[in-house]
Chain A
Amino acid sequence: MHIQDYWLILAFFVLVLVPAPFLGRYIFRVMEGHKTLLSPVLLPIERFCYRLAGVDSQAEQDWKGYSTALLMFTLACLIGLFAILMLQGRLGLNPEHIAGMDWPLALNTAVSFVTNTNWQAYSGEASLSYFSQMLGLGVQNFVSPAVGLAVLVVFCRGIARRSSNSIGNFWVDMTRGVLYVLLPFCLLLALFLVWQGVPQSFMAYVHAKTLLGADQSIPLGPAASQIAIKQLGTNGGGFFGVNSAHPFENPTAWSNLVEMASIILIPAALLFTFGHYVKDLRQSRALLASMLILFVAGFAVTLYAELQPNPALAALPIEQSGAFEGKESRLGIAASALWAVATTAASNGSVNAMHDSFSALGGMIPMLNMMLGEVIFGGVGAGLYGMLLFVLITVFLAGLMIGRTPEYLGKKLEAREVRLLVMTLLVMPVGVLVFGALGVSLPGPAMSISNPGAHGFSQVLYAYTSGTANNGSAFAGFGANTPYHDVMIALAMLLGRFGFILPILAIAGSLAAKKSAPQDGNSFPTHGPLFVTLLTMVILLVGGLTFLPALALGPIAEHLTLLQGF
């Protein structure tokens, strides 16, 4: 570790944690229609949008109406994006004359971007026109985090409201999320990235001759705008194939730091948005504490693992300073490890190093982060609503131990809520384990695995974990673009997205309709060190125990094999 690595780590936490409370309050005010700094500029645009779409911004929906609107919207996005990707050859803004995608890849990609996963079974510079990038993926990069934000806000309202049938208006929440939260910050970040050297251009690729006389095609494109929302919206889909390891996506140490911080920025801020909704910022701090514990612990393990020399090479006369395979030497080990942990903790999925090449344990943490359901900060909205599900499970498990019907912030958890909770509990095991088991058992799909033994198993496990958790990062060696994996991972992504969203909207509807019991010494304390410890344990027990056997056969076995020298 170099001194600048320590500075980088410190700067990262400062950049995330200092603005979070302010941004969180701003998002709360935006989503509840209060006046904010940007209102004078954006309010007329917001009203114009409603007029254009014929939306009555005052009319609220119940959870069923909200869900229907959300599903219809997603379906429309899915069909639209699928069509763009199939037809991109004829849609213009295509200087490289890239042809349309095959249907399995188009389907996989459409689902991937609509569900905020950004799993990429293709390479951007080779497979996508500028039209697809901007009007296809770029649009989804904005609306898919907005959907996550909307669902979270509904969950917050569910807890905060009393005896209410309505939980908000989907169209209003979407408009505000995009207009006030995502667009302004992306504009700033994109400008910063352009300054740092990220291209923002419609020019065709530059063709050059290298010093050795080889032909080289240097891809360009409207990258800066895409990368800004890719990071801020926890999307992660790279403009170029190697994502943020590419010098055009991530040219400098500054761009690396700021891109990394912007992965976590909005998810961290949303903790405070939640606190404002329930009028108790202690709750925000407790959840933040639990997330930080898991984040820092994961980062420590990955960093330590990556700094170790490879034991298999220990006998050889080589000087090793850590696991450098698959990492950008200009970024270094610490920055790669921090990015890997941040991007898998949040459901971002962008990479600045190849996770496939990480040491066994170093690569296990990103996988575990995703297996826990992307609740350590997590995706925009999605991370916190996933975390709140764990909170509800914790409250239900331990709440009985104070001799009362389990209650979270005054709302009783009864059979209906628990049934819905249990449905969400099944999503990750089914998506990861069942789909993964199919992937390794069927002879055709198993061909995609490029490594033998435990690491090969990790590849499949990682792919389906990433899909179900809506993360999008990959163990690079895995040959994901086969019709089988395209379709199955698309299914996993849909399961991972709507397997959470629909039960959560139902829970929110059910909670909103309940009365709220007063909070006093009689009620279950959901702040303070005791609860933070308990919550963290439950996340590890309920989320982690499920995957221990699979991890044992993957990274753990790989690690132990490596230690024992085969």
Chain B
Amino acid sequence: MNAPILTQDPQPKTAAQAKTGASTLWQAALGKAFTKLDPRQLQRAPVMLVVELTAIVTTVLCFMPNPAVSTGLAVQIALWLWFTLLFANFAEALAEGRGKARADSLKAGSQGLKARRQTQPGVYESVAASELRRGDIVRVEAGEQIPGDGEVIEGIAAVNEAAITGESAPVIRESGGDRSAVTGNTNLVSDWLLVKITANPGESTLDRMIALVEGARRQKTPNEIALDMLLIGLTLVFLVVVATLQPFARYAGGDLPLVYLVALLVTLIPTTIGGLLSAIGIAGMDRLVRLNVIAKSGRAVEAAGDVHVLLLDKTGTITFGNRRCSALIAAPGIAEQDLTEAALLSSLGDDTAEGKSIVEYIRNLGPVQAPERSAVKVIAFSAETRLSGADHGSQRYRKGAVDAVLDYLKMNRSDMPAALARTVDKIAQSGGTPLLVASDARLLGAIHLKDVVKPGIRERFAELRAMGIRTVMVTGDNPLTAAAIAAEAGVDDVIAEATPEKKLQRIRSEQAEGKMVAMCGDGANDAPALAQADVGLAMNDGTQAAREAANLVDLDSDPTKLLDVVQVGKELLVTRGALTTFSVANDVAKYFAILPALFIGVYPQLGVLNLMQLHSPQSAILSAIVFNALIIVALIPLALRGVRVQATDAASLLRRNLLIYGLGGLLAPFVGIKLIDMLLVAVGLV
């Protein structure tokens, strides 16, 4: 019982919410922007903490009049510094809000949930679900909610997992085998289960989902920590630069107003990326949550951006997972029409996926004149005879595996027409499965069943290859069959006759070469490989062992998601890099705005550095501060959406992003600051 692979809309719920709740989301975020001013929260973003300190200092300075700076200007600078902070907080709150809205609605369902915990076999006590700990055994009955993540140890039941996956069709969960894992907050539709809880409070799938998208609890990812370090470093450098300016100016016989120095500091330190860093991280995780993928840590998502090799199971990822009819080949001397009709009639009684695919295939060929259904006596497919068929009048149509049909006809292989025998061999060699169709004692022809490669997957692999990621198909098929499918799907390599050990070994050898490997799996025997891989995506309907070993879980149990995860990981990194570059490149223009203004009293000659011809020193400084604050707002959509990653090689990607965010970052503030300056002067604020 595999959960349907293609879910309609991954999250109809949130889509609806987005429409009705957009404004509430904004309002909530606006409110939170203020509560996030708490320095204890801001210390997670050191750059913004510095901004807050400078905002406080400037606010205090507003009350200590300085003849060199009008109070009006000081107040405006102070205000814009607070705005800078609020904008950054707003970005984070907005990012949080989107992800949390979904998580909260899920969490609401678990409020006050009770569980029946087993104290000794057959004896149960009622406890709050929130008190359940790893190892507890609970009994769940039809109509109840499963109180926590766990593994079925006894029983078999249908479970509706719509709360988590958005998929409304119930799935079967049973002890043993590959379908033994259950998720908290899903509903038991039938029967009963004895579940061994596998997550302590705060560790469940739901908790993880929430933790990923909540700013204050979120664990920073490794790249984020490294970037943080660089931002702190740049902040310190500029702190030294600004702090030493006063003694330098004093030596030259001038004195710089403290408010201006503060303004210079804030514009130079990387506030743009510093303010948006958290929002970018949360939004990245949120994109993943929207894909219905739960990451146990942000680390895995970043690692997904780094992978060199994807190990993909053939079945379900590359092919649809069941063989489908791809051609009908008539025996010599038989009309196509006769074969088609016979194949259709004999397949009506075959409810297997293969049988259905034959009917579908023929129906797609064009209108078939099938006899009245009532006139036909359908003979259903049975595993014993491995035949299906139909009796129509005196005609007896049969279809089945080659040996089965020959047996039915009491023929030997050598009795087959030579051409048909060749066809059958060719189908087998190409990795397909041949079926024979017979009418009475006559062999009409063969049906070519084959693994059908999912549409679009070949293009997807080509994109990955352009990005330098190799795909390796893993299959239990023999090398011949595997090679045929591999060629069709366009994968780079194949592991045929794969065993879990083979998989594990392949991962290790790739890693020994310094490569990062991603894979997905569901079975208990996939667990070691999932744990070994740098990125392991487990299917939610798989075993608990797999879910625990992997660092990502796909709630929709769609292995193709691995490709999306790679995309999300890359987007996350690119967005951070792009905004960092943008932020640093901005400093050039800000220098040219503020330095001449700052030094006008010391060396009026330095006025030639006023490239933008800003109106006055006051307007120059204010414009730089305003630009610095507004650019955060302007970039919020980009931070939340993420920079798109083209499927191309690293060099072109770099060139493109450098042009946009590097060169753009160099030029944009020249234009922006000039415009703001003109506006401020026009409005009369300076």
Q: Please report A residues at the B interface, Cβ cutoff 8 Å.
A: 162, 393, 396-406, 410, 413-415, 417-419, 421-423, 425-426, 429-430, 433-434, 436-438, 440-441, 446, 453-454, 457, 515-518, 520-525, 528, 530, 534, 537, 541-542, 545-550, 552-553, 556-557, 560-561, 563-564
**Assuming A457-B251, A560-B605, what are 19 further A-B pairs, CB within 8 angstroms?**
A398-B658, A400-B223, A401-B653, A403-B305, A403-B570, A415-B225, A418-B226, A429-B240, A433-B240, A453-B252, A525-B651, A534-B662, A542-B584, A550-B248, A552-B609, A553-B252, A553-B599, A556-B606, A557-B606
With the chains together, A565 CA to B237 CA distance in Å? 35
A-B contact pairs, 12 of them (CB 8 A): A162-B514, A397-B230, A403-B571, A404-B306, A410-B514, A418-B229, A422-B230, A454-B252, A457-B248, A525-B651, A561-B603, A561-B605
A148 and B647 CA atoms in complex are apart in Å by: 43
Specify which chain A residues have a CB less than 8 angstroms from the CB of B515 in the assembled complex. Answer: 517-518
0/1 interface trace, chain B 307-324, chain A, CB 8 Å (1 if under): 010000000000000000
Contacts of B230 in A (CB 8 A): 393, 396-397, 418, 421-422
Instruction: Decide: A549 and B248 in contact? CB cutoff 8 A.
Output: yes
**Does B180 belong to the interface (CB within 8 Å)?**
no
* Cβ contacts under 8 Å, B306 to chain A: 404-405
- 6 nearest A-B pairs in the assembled complex, by CB-CB distance: A522-B468, A400-B577, A422-B233, A403-B570, A560-B605, A401-B577
The winner among A401, A545, A560 for most chain B CB atoms within 10 A is A401
Cβ contacts under 8 Å, B650 to chain A: 402, 404, 521-525
Q: Are A553 and B240 neighbours in the complex by a CB distance under 8 Å?
A: no
Cβ 8 A contact of A405, one of B223, B598, B606, B608: B223
Tell whether B427 is near chain A: CB-to-CB under 8 Å: no
Q: Inter-chain contact count A-B, CB under 8 Å?
A: 212
1/0 per residue, CB under 8 A from A, across B639-657: the answer is 0000001000111011101
Is B513 an interface residue when CB atoms closer than 8 A count as contact?
yes
Inter-chain contact A516/B468, CB cutoff 8 Å: no
Nearest CB on A from B596, distance (A): 9
Q: Are B654 and A530 neighbours in the complex by a CB distance under 8 Å?
A: yes
Neighbouring B residues of A521 by C-beta, 8 Å: 466, 468, 649-651
Residues of B within 8 A of A429 (CB): 237, 240-241
Q: Which of A396, A438, A561 has the most CB of B within 10 A?
A: A396
Is the interface on chain B under 10, 10 to 19, 20 to 34, or 35 or more residues?
35 or more
Q: What residues on B are CB-neighbors of A405 within 8 Å? A: 222-223, 302, 305-306, 573
From B76-84, B151-159, B587-595, the one touching the partner chain is B587-595
Within the complex, what minimum Cβ distance (angstroms) separates B398 from chain A?
54
Cβ contact of B584, chosen from A404, A430, A541, cutoff 8 A: A541
Are B606 and A414 in contact, CB atoms less than 8 angstroms apart?
Answer: no
A403–B574 CB distance below 8 A = yes
Cβ of A525: which chain B residues have Cβ within 8 Å of it?
650-651, 654
| Nearest CB of chain B from residue A277's CB, rounded to whole Å | 17
Residues of A within 8 A of B606 (CB): 552, 556-557, 560
Q: A405-B306, A553-B599, A557-B605 are in contact. Are A400 and B573 (CB under 8 A)?
A: yes
Separation in Å of the A477 CB from the closest CB of chain B? 16
B274 to chain A, nearest CB (A): 14
Pairwise interchain contact A548-B595, C-beta atoms closer than 8 A: yes
Is the pair B651, A403 in contact by a Cβ cutoff of 8 Å? no
Q: For the complex, what is the distance from the CA of A561 to the CA of B602, rounded to whole Å? A: 12
How far does the alpha carbon of A488 sit from the alpha carbon of B576 in the complex, in Å? Answer: 40
Contacts of B305 in A (CB 8 A): 403-405
Q: Shortest CB–CB separation between residue A397 and chain B, in angstroms?
A: 6
Query: Are A530 and B658 in contact, with the CB atoms below 8 A?
Result: yes
- Given A530-B658, A561-B603: A430 and B252 within 8 A (CB)? no
Which parts of B210-269 form the interface with A (CB within 8 Å)? Answer: 222-223, 225-227, 229-230, 232-234, 236-238, 240-241, 243-245, 247-252, 268
The yes or no answer to B623 lying at the interface (CB within 8 A) is no
Please indicate the chain A residues that have their CB under 8 angstroms from the CB of B570 in the complex.
403-404
- Chain A residue numbers with a CB within 8 Å of B240 are 426, 429-430, 433-434, 546
The reply to whether A400 and B580 contact each other, CB–CB distance below 8 Å, is yes
Judging by beta carbons under 8 Å apart, are B658 and A415 in contact? no
CA distance A523 to B654 in the complex (A): 11
A431 to chain B minimum Cβ distance, whole angstroms, is: 10
**B516 on interface, CB distance cutoff 8 Å:** yes
Instruction: Report yes or no: A397 in contact with B581, Cβ–Cβ below 8 A.
Output: yes
- In angstroms, how far is the closest chain B Cβ from the Cβ of A454? 7
Cross-chain contact of A522 among B302, B467, B603 (Cβ < 8 A):
B467
B469 CB–A CB distance under 8 Å = yes
B249's nearest neighbour on chain A, judged by CB, is A553
Q: Which residues of chain B are near A552, meaning CB under 8 Å?
A: 595, 599, 603, 606, 609
| A518 engages B513 (CB within 8 Å) | yes
B397 interface contact, C-beta 8 A: no
B595 and A425 form a contact (CB under 8 A)? no
Expressed in whole angstroms, the Cα–Cα distance for A186 and B511 within the complex equals 48
Q: How far is the CB of B507 from chain A (nearest CB, A)?
A: 14
**CB contact between A414 and one of B222, B516, B587 (< 8 Å): that residue:** B222
- Complex CA distance for A426 and B230, rounded to whole angstroms: 11
The 8 A CB mask of B508-535 against A (1 = contact, 0 = none) is 0001111110000000000000000000
The reply to whether B244 and A433 form a contact with Cβ atoms under 8 Å apart is: yes
Q: Does B569 contact A (CB under 8 A)?
A: yes
Q: Are B608 and A560 in contact (CB under 8 A)?
A: yes
Query: Which residues of chain A are within 8 angstroms of B33 by Cβ–Cβ distance?
Result: none
**B661: Cβ under 8 A from any A Cβ:** yes
Q: What residues of chain B lie closer than 8 Å to A403, measured between beta carbons?
A: 305, 467, 569-571, 573-574, 645, 653
Contact indicator B581/A426 (Cβ below 8 Å): no
Which of B232, B234, B598 has the most chain A CB atoms inside 10 A of its CB? Answer: B234
Q: Which residues does chain B contribute within 8 Å of A398, judged by CB atoms?
A: 577, 581, 654, 658, 662
Q: Which residues of A contact B171 (CB under 8 A)?
A: none
CB-contacts of B450-481 with A (<8 A): 466-469
Q: Does B578 contact A (CB under 8 A)?
A: yes
Indicate which residue in A515, A520, A549 contacts B595 across the interface (CB closer than 8 Å).
Answer: A549
- Which A residues are in CB contact (< 8 Å) with B587? 541, 545
| Residues of A close to B244: CB separation below 8 A | 433-434, 436-437, 550
- B571→A545 contact, CB < 8 A: no
Chain A nearest CB from B663 CB (Å) reads 10
B652 to chain A, nearest CB (A): 9
CB distance from A515 to the nearest CB of B (A): 4
* A402 cross-chain contacts in B, Cβ below 8 A: 574, 577, 650, 653-654, 657
CB contacts (< 8 Å) of B469 on chain A: these are: 522
Complex CA distance for A530 and B609, rounded to whole angstroms = 29
Tell me whether B285 is interfacial, beta carbon within 8 Å. Answer: no
Known A415-B226, A546-B237; judge A437-B247 contact (CB<8 A). yes
Complex Cα–Cα for A50 and B1 (A):
73
User: A457 CA to B251 CA in the complex, in Å?
Assistant: 8
**Which chain A residues border B252 with CB–CB below 8 Å?**
453-454, 457, 553, 557
B164 contacts the other chain (CB 8 A):
no
Closest-CB distance, A6 to chain B (whole angstroms):
33
Q: A410 to chain B: which residues have CB within 8 Å?
A: 514
CB of B585 within 8 Å of the partner chain: yes
B-side contacts of A537, CB under 8 Å: 662
Question: With A and B bound together, what is the CA distance between A196 and B661 in angstroms?
Answer: 55
Question: Which residue of A has the minimal Cβ distance to B592?
Answer: A548
List the B residue with the shortest CB-CB distance to A566. B605
A522–B226 CB distance below 8 A: no
Bound form: Cα–Cα A400–B584 in Å: 14
**Contact bitstring B605-616, A, C-beta under 8 A = 1, else 0:** 110110000000
Shortest B565–chain A CB gap in Å is: 13
Is the beta-carbon distance between B232 and A422 smaller than 8 angstroms? Answer: yes
Cβ A419 vs Cβ B229 within 8 A = yes
Tell me, in angstroms, the Cα distance from A359 to B60 when the chains sit together.
44
Bound-state Cα–Cα, A446 to B250, Å: 12
- Known A401-B578, A520-B468, A553-B603; judge A515-B514 contact (CB<8 A): yes
Nearest-neighbour CB distance to chain A for B598, whole angstroms, equals 8
Residue of B nearest to A530 (CB): B655
Kindly list chain A residues whose C-beta atoms are within 8 Å of the C-beta of B661. 401
Query: Separation in Å of the B564 CB from the closest CB of chain A?
Result: 14
